[in-house]
């Protein structure tokens, strides 16, 4: 069975601090896809990043960076120099098939204080 | 281009009634999936349609059903509503396949009283 764990329920930081959101996943599939989504108060899920199981290259995109490590089944997400607008619930998700069958983690609520 | 549109945004229904929610995907997207979000269970997959065919289904009772039309618009129906069905129902559209991008709508918030 597939499972996604986000151990951090809530995180509060002060603006301009760096923050890392943890994600640990479980799957027996050799091919799978990992995602991070952001859910602001408006409700829609905003796509941030996708990685497949064959691409462990970590990347930086503006203030966002990702650390994918298959050896520890982790897919962590870091926001550098956080801003108030980053306040949202962040979800890590896993899928393996063409059915869009995402398995979501429970989410981490990030509050960035001014 | 227009995003994923879900209607209505808010809905209040009484226990025992049925409800139909609508999702219009991004133009050209043939895959539509539905998720239920509750504080207790989080985000859970309901079902996914591709070219009018249900391709995958989550672990929900038969009261939850859906369909997709030839223009890719999708509806989901919940019959005999229970209090526990109160949730945010999110729809996502995609061109298809896990490597494609997925775009979510803002959801329909259903309250069952």
Distance, CA of B111 to CA of B89 (rounded, Å): 11
Q: Residue A37 pLDDT more than 90?
A: yes
Instruction: Pick the range with the lowest mean pLDDT from A42-51, B35-44, B97-106.
Output: B97-106
| Strands B10-13 and A108-113, sheet pairing | unpaired
Show which residues on chain A lie within 8 Å of chain B, measured between beta carbons.
33, 35, 37, 42-47, 50, 52, 91, 93, 95-107
Q: How confident is the model at residue A30 (pLDDT cuts 50, 70, 90)?
A: confident
Q: Give percent of chain A with pLDDT exceeding 90.
A: 66
* pLDDT, position B36: 98
Q: What is the pLDDT of residue B11?
A: 97
Among B25, B102, B105, B107, the strongest candidate for a mutation testing the A interface, having the largest count of A CBs within 10 A, is B102
Residue listed under structure tokens 């226990």? B15
Interchain CB distance below 8 Å, A100 and B42: no
Confidence check: pLDDT of B80 > 70: yes
In this predicted structure, the answer to whether residue B97 has a pLDDT above a threshold of 70 is no
Residues of B in contact with A99 (CB under 8 A): 33, 48, 55-56
The pLDDT value recorded for residue A42 is 87
Tokens of A10: 């809530």
The Cα–Cα gap between B5 and B91 comes to: 8
Bridge partners of B95, per DSSP, are none
User: Which residues in chain A belong to E strands, given as ranges?
Assistant: 3-5, 10-14, 19-21, 24-26, 33-39, 46-52, 59-61, 64-69, 74-79, 88-95, 103-104, 108-113
| Residue B11 touches partner A, C-beta closer than 8 Å | no
Residue predicted with more confidence, A34 or B18: B18
Quick: pLDDT tens for B49-68: 999 999 889 999 999 999 99
- Greatest mean pLDDT among A49-53, A97-101, B83-87 lies in B83-87
Convert B19-38 into a string of H (helix), E (strand) and C (coil): EEEEEECCCCCCEEEEEEEE
Q: Which of A98, A101, A105 sits opposite B45 (nearest CB)?
A: A101
Q: Provide the pLDDT for residue B1.
A: 60
CA-nearest residue of chain B to A92?
B43
Phi/psi for A41 (5° steps) reads -55, -25
Find the distance separating the first CA and the last CA of chain A, reported in whole Å.
Answer: 41
Residue A98: pLDDT band with limits 50, 70, 90: low
pLDDT in the model for residue A95: 87
Confidence at B98, pLDDT banded by 50, 70, 90 = low
Interface probe with A: pick from B2, B98, B105, B106, most Cβ of A within 10 Å: B98
Work out the percent of chain B whose per-residue pLDDT is above 70: 95
């Amino acid at each position: 069975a597939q499972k996604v764990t986000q151990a951090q329920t809530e995180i509060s930081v002060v603006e301009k601090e760096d923050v890392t959101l943890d994600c640990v996943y479980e799957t027996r599939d050799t091919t799978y896809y990992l995602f991070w989504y952001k859910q602001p108060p408006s409700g829609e899920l905003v796509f941030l990043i996708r990685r497949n199981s064959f691409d462990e290259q970590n990347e930086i995109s503006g203030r966002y960076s990702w650390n994918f490590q298959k050896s520890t089944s982790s897919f962590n997400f870091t926001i550098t120099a956080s801003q108030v607008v980053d306040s949202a619930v962040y979800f890590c998700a896993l899928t393996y098939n063409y059915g869009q069958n995402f398995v979501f983690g429970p989410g981490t609520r990030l509050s960035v204080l001014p | 281009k227009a995003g994923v549109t879900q209607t209505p945004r808010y809905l209040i229904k009484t226990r025992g009634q049925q409800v139909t929610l609508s999702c219009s995907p991004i133009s050209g997207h043939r895959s539509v999936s539905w998720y239920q979000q509750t504080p207790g269970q989080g985000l859970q997959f309901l079902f996914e349609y591709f070219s009018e065919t249900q391709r995958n289904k989550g672990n929900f009772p038969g009261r939850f059903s859906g369909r997709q039309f030839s223009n890719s618009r999708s509806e989901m129906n919940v019959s005999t509503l229970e209090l526990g069905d109160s949730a945010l129902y999110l729809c996502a559209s995609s061109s298809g396949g896990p490597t494609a991008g997925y775009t979510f709508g803002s959801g329909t918030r259903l309250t069952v009283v």
